[in-house]
Amino acid sequence: MIKLFKESCDLCKCYKTVAEGNYIFEGEVEILEDGEEFPIPTFINSKILAKKWFKDQGWQYRSKCVFCEDCYKLLKNGYVILDRFNQFYDDEACLDVPTVSCIMNKQEAIEFSSYQYNDEVVNYYKALTTVSNFLNGKLETDSLGYTKEHPEVSIVLDF
Asked if pLDDT for residue 1 goes beyond 70, the answer is no
pLDDT at 37: 86
Alpha helices for the chain (secondary structure H) = 47-56, 69-77, 106-112, 127-135, 143-149
pLDDT, averaged across the chain: 89
pLDDT at 89 > cutoff 70: yes
Burial class of residue 54, CB neighbours in 10 A (0-12, 13-18, 19+): buried
49-83 pLDDT, tens per residue? Answer: 899 999 999 999 998 999 999 999 999 999 999 99
Which pTM value belongs to this model? 0.81
CB 46 within 8 A of CB 5: no
What is the pLDDT, as a whole number, of residue 103?
A: 96
Q: What is the pLDDT of residues 12-49, one digit of tens each?
A: 999 999 988 887 888 788 888 888 888 888 888 889 98
Q: Side-chain half-sphere of 36: how many Cα atoms within 13 Å?
A: 2
